[in-house]
């Protein structure tokens, strides 16, 4: 159940009670695509750096080790020894990225595994069955993500198919949750709004899926190459038609500035591989902007990444040492950098929640939207 605790204009402070624990929103989901954070941060360490909910991917876990293996191990949370909630993405976006290897039909998608080339079919029912085997807290509906911009007629056809697929997802998950052998009979379902960058398609889609009274709603099909202003425009277009008493999730987003902007427009949930991916290549986020540790000027820098940061990395190690580790391609360097960036994102969300609760989010937003996306000079 989602409880809206406070608002400041469109920014929302909420509490989402699930069978696996409470999630306070706005929240950033730490992405462990294959049930692990790339960069070597363990589930136990995620809890220590403020992670409330972890995200794993249906497609990748179906390919390996196999969702039936994870079911036999007691579900995704027991498999990875993570106590908190887990959201599983349906696999729709991954199938979008496999465009040369897939064929979309009304019944679902036929595609070739990116690992060994074997032919696989996934439709709404199969996606729900896999996610039920994973026993995640929140399952995402199976959808089609189209490129931006997409031809209007194809975007319309795809959006309408996504609605039909969503109804099939809802019906199948209801069936699975009613079975005595289901690992998590309280599994929740979020629907996904699609429609490319066309306002009428987005609105029509949102009006249709909100009638299904699902547990939450996502805005999908963004962060796939369009300009940030286009993304913000779509959020502003869709948000008035989203239920106020359900969580709102902007999929695959994004930078710290993207998050600030989307919270200001009424979004609650976020996920992105950016903090871990950037960290592995030496780009770190700080409250004074981004730094690239591979720059020569950090060779003899004794300071932590961010002097105002309390993460395990900043409490113990210098920029000089981290630069050495990353330049030498030592795995410890990636691990320490990823730890910092994930801590930063989780702390950003904590400060956002604190600002909404205190009634000063607008000031917080106006201050940091002009800082966090810039490159730090010192």
Question: What span, in angstroms and rounded, lies between the C-alpha atoms of 31 and 359?
Answer: 30
Helix (H, G, I), strand (E, B) or coil at 316: helix
Annotated catalytic residue 89: yes
Catalytic residue among 89, 268, 301, 306: 89
State how far the alpha carbon of 334 is from the alpha carbons of 36, 147, 241, 284, in Å: 14, 32, 42, 11
CA distances from 100 to 2, 95, 103 (A): 39, 10, 9
Question: In what side-by-side order are the strands of the sheet with 11-18?
Answer: 2-8, 11-18, 21-25
What does the DSSP assignment read for 144-209? -PPPSS--HHHHHHHHHHHHHHHHHHHHHHHHHHTSTT-S-TT-EEEEEE--TT-HHHHHHHHHHH
| φ, ψ of residue 99 in degrees (nearest 5) | -45, -45
- Provide the CB-side half-sphere exposure for 9 (13 A, CA): 11
Take residue 334 and report the two structure tokens written for it.
Answer: 């990636």
CA distance 148 to 160: 17
Annotated active-site residue 143? The verdict is no
Return the structure tokens found at 137.
């807290």
Per the listing, tokens 């695959």 go with 252
Strand-pairing partners, residue 23, are 16
70 and 22 in contact (C-beta within 8 Å)? no
Helix residue ranges per DSSP H, 99-151: 124-134
Rounded to 5°, the CA angle 16-22-27 comes to 65
Helix (H) or strand (E) holding 140: strand 138-140
Catalytic residue among 143, 271, 301, 306: 271
Is the distance from CB of 346 to CB of 271 less than 8 angstroms? no
Q: What number of CA atoms fall less than 13 Å from residue 23's CA on the CB side?
A: 30
What is the number of other CB atoms lying within 10 angstroms of the CB of residue 1? 9
* Catalytic (active-site) positions: 89, 271
């Amino acid at each position: 159940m989602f409880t809206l605790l406070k608002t400041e204009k469109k920014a929302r402070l909420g509490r989402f009670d699930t069978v696996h624990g409470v999630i306070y929103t706005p929240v950033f989901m730490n992405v462990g695509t294959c049930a692990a954070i790339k960069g070597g941060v363990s589930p136990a360490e995620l809890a220590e750096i403020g992670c409330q909910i972890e995200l794993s991917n249906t497609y990748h876990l179906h390919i390996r080790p196999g969702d039936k293996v994870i079911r036999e191990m007691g579900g995704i949370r027991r498999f990875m020894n993570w106590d908190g909630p887990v959201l599983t993405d349906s696999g729709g976006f991954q199938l979008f990225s496999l465009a040369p290897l897939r064929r979309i039909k009304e019944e679902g998608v036929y595609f070739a595994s990116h690992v060994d080339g074997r032919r696989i079919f996934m439709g709404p029912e199969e996606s729900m069955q896999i996610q039920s085997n994973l026993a995640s807290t929140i399952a995402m509906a199976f959808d089609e993500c189209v490129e931006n911009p997409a031809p209007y007629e194809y975007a319309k056809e795809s959006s309408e198919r996504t609605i039909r697929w969503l109804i099939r997802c809802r019906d199948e998950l209801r069936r699975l949750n009613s079975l005595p052998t289901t690992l998590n009979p309280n599994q929740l379902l979020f629907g996904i709004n699609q429609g490319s960058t066309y306002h009428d398609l987005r609105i029509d889609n949102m009006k249709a899926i909100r009638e299904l009274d699902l547990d939450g709603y996502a805005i999908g099909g963004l962060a796939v190459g369009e300009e940030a202003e286009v993304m913000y425009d779509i959020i502003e277009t869709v948000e008035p038609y989203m239920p106020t008493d359900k969580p709102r999730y902007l999929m695959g987003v994004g930078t710290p500035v993207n998050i600030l902007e989307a919270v200001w427009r009424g979004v609650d949930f976020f996920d992105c591989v950016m903090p871990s991916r950037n960290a592995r290549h030496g780009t770190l986020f700080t409250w004074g902007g981004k730094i690239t540790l591979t720059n020569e000027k950090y060779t003899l820098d004794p300071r932590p990444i961010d002097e105002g940061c309390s993460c395990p990395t900043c409490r113990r190690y210098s920029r000089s040492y981290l630069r050495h580790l990353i330049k030498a391609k030592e795995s410890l360097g990636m691990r320490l950098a990823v730890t910092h960036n994930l801590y930063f994102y989780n702390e950003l969300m904590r400060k956002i929640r604190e600002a909404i609760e205190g009634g000063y989010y607008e000031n917080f937003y106006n201050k940091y939207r002009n800082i966090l996306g810039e490159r730090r000079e010192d």
